[in-house]
Amino acid sequence: MKYISLALKISITYFLFGLLWIYFSDNAINLLVKDLEKLQFLQTIKGWLFITFSSILIYFISYKLFIQIESKKEELLKSNELLEKIIENAPLIIFWKSNKGVYLGCNSKFLQLINLTSKDELLGKTDTDFSILEKENFINDDMIVISSCQPKLDYLETVTTKNKILRILNTSKVPLFDNKGEVIGVLGVSEDVTEQINNQNKIKTQEELLIQQSKLAAMGEMIANIAHQWRQPLSVISTLSTGMKLQKELHISNEEYEKESLDNINENAQYLSKTIDDFKNFFKKDNNKTNIYFKELFEKTFKLIQSRLKNRDIQIIQNNYTQIRFDTYESELIQVFINIINNSIDAFENISEDKYIFIDVKEFDNKIVIKIKDNAGGIDKNIIDKIFDPYFTTKNEKQGTGIGLYMSKEIITKHLNGSVEASNIEFEYLNKSHHGAIFTITIPLNKDK
């Protein structure tokens, strides 16, 4: 349209100019010259002048136009080349197809992906011409994009070529439109994320291994705990059964006493079996969240470290959190509490005064804040920034591996989307001032989900 009106403008101007030239020059000559022969001669000269002048004009106009066309052509060629270079050098796999699924173009990364050496092997063909395991999925995705006229963005797909190499791609497909807004094809852009995903999986298995490892490390202590917790009921069972046997031998058995003893033995046996269940549950891998009261979580925690606490005369002081309950990975959170409380117990090693561990749980702003505080003297300020680092320990090899707090932080931040911090605190309790460490765990609740 733009060029038609431009051409029209030029020719109309030329027409008007010619018209005016003829009209005025004819009139001027007619006025000035009366001699017919002279008049004819001047008319011829005027004709020649007009042709010469307009030829020069046409020459300059067309010369300018040709120069412009040429430079536009060059610009187009350059921008085409640039576009090709961008497509070729982009760190992405790029291809485009017609709305019938026929390949129209691609970059060499796409050729590499499907094991082709030149574009000739690809152009004009469709996915059905290649031996790729997932070709049905590709065709379906193309159809969805073309028929809905909507892009399909950022989804993961796999490509397994005939030599059985599997690549994982993060792909986006967008419809291609012509000037009239009709879909004429589909453009696909993929990023090869195989290494990334494999690394993520590796890190995940390593993390899981570490969790298991730290559970195993805790197991040694647990076994000592089981032994300790079993000693008492086993001795009760043994005493009662020996007593009954003795009464039988001496023929002084008393039915009332026997019944009571058997009930007692049964109770103790059930307690033994219950402690085994507690430990078994702790070592199970948490796959699902369970809804649990905090009170129960801490009861379970204390059961597992009961003997350590009792042996060292450590008092646990808890605030009133009986009503707070939430969905969580139970044994992982218990592991975190055990790690933190075990550290406090270790820190009490050379302390002879009253030993306290305070547990404070509060629920507000759709989150749970748990504070575990001791009066064991606090964490040396030179190391406080490092205590969450893996393998950082101030204990000797037998007493600590230095993964306790690292693992706890991993569980809280990565599995429960929360945060954990450590600091030192001075506080008053029973009219005495105390100094110790405080661990603050914050876990979002996401109750709306």
Ligand X SMILES: Nc1ncnc2c1ncn2[C@@H]1O[C@H](COP(=O)(O)OP(=O)(O)OP(=O)(O)O)[C@@H](O)[C@H]1O
Q: Is 170 helix (H, G, I), strand (E, B) or coil?
A: strand
Judged by CB under 5 A, the residue of 233, 378, 404, 436 near Mg ion is 404
In the complex, what is the shortest distance from the CB of residue 367 to ligand X, in angstroms, rounded to a whole number? 23
The verdict on 222 binding ligand X (CB under 6 A) reads no
Contact 144, 190 (CB under 8 A): no
The verdict on 420 binding Mg ion (CB under 5 A) reads no
Contact 119, 111 (CB under 8 A): yes
Contact 189, 172 (CB under 8 A): yes
Q: How far is CA 422 from CA 371, 385, 406, in A?
A: 10, 9, 12
Contact 295, 321 (CB under 8 A): yes
Token digits of residue 190: 């993929």
In the complex, what is the shortest distance from the CB of residue 419 to Mg ion, in angstroms, rounded to a whole number? 19
Closest CA to 297 of 310, 281, 274, 309: 281
Task: Give the number of residues written for the chain.
Answer: 449
In the complex, what is the shortest distance from the CB of residue 448 to ligand X, in angstroms, rounded to a whole number? 34
- Cβ neighbors of 413 (< 8 A, separation 6 or more) are 419, 420
The verdict on 394 binding ligand X (CB under 6 A) reads yes
The verdict on 268 binding Mg ion (CB under 5 A) reads no
String of contacts with ligand X for each residue 403-422, x by CB under 6 A = xxxx----------------
Candidates 10-18, 235-243, 249-257, 397-405: pick the segment binding ligand X (CB under 6 A).
Answer: 397-405
- Beta carbons within 10 angstroms of residue 52's beta carbon: 10
Judged by CB under 5 A, the residue of 343, 344, 375, 408 near Mg ion is 343
Judged by CB under 6 A, the residue of 374, 375, 411, 418 near ligand X is 374
In the complex, what is the shortest distance from the CB of residue 357 to ligand X, in angstroms, rounded to a whole number? 9
**Cα 367 to Cα 328: distance, rounded to the nearest angstrom:** 12
The verdict on 221 binding ligand X (CB under 6 A) reads no
Judged by CB under 6 A, the residue of 113, 222, 347, 361 near ligand X is 347
Site for ligand X in 134-163 (CB under 6 A): none
**Cα 122 to Cα 324: distance, rounded to the nearest angstrom:** 63
Task: Residue 344: name its binding partner from ligand X, Mg ion, none (Cβ under 5 to 8 Å by kind).
Answer: ligand X
In the complex, what is the shortest distance from the CB of residue 280 to ligand X, in angstroms, rounded to a whole number? 22
Task: Residue 437: name its binding partner from ligand X, Mg ion, none (Cβ under 5 to 8 Å by kind).
Answer: ligand X
Closest CA to 446 of 405, 404, 417, 403: 417
Using CB under 6 A, list all residues that contact ligand X.
Answer: 339, 343-344, 347, 374, 376, 379, 387, 392-395, 400-406, 437
Instruction: Name the residues that contact Mg ion, by CB under 5 A.
Output: 343, 404
